[in-house]
A = this chain, B = another copy of it.
Amino acid sequence: MTNFKATVHVSLRSGIADPQGLTIERALPALGYTGVSGVRVGKLIEFGLDASDATEAESKVGEMCERLLANTVIESYTLSIVDESEDLAGRES
């Protein structure tokens, strides 16, 4: 088993209204920030995951996104998997 670090970015599907992003964008000029456009607010979910290899980790996280982490009716997601042990000095037993 290896420990992977999973990062999932969940955002509203394009075409779905994003009232939060719009409201922030409309408020910015009054706060003194100009030249800002296309504000989108999404979620970033990070966690550690045990899996035998990267392929398994990836398919596991993909399934978790479909079933729990994203609401695929209105949201889409991207995910990335990093082998934590490779980031560090050596590989764990």
Contacts and interface: CB of A to CB of B under 8 A. Distances in A.
Contacts of A35: 1, 49-51
Q: How many identical subunits does the complex contain?
A: 2
A68 interface: yes
A43 to B, nearest CB: 6
A74 interface: no
**Residue of A21, A33, A37, A63 most packed against chain B (CB within 10 A):** A33
Interface residues of A, number: 34
Contacts of A42: 43-46
B40 A9 contact: no
A45 B41 contact: yes
Contacts of A63: 33
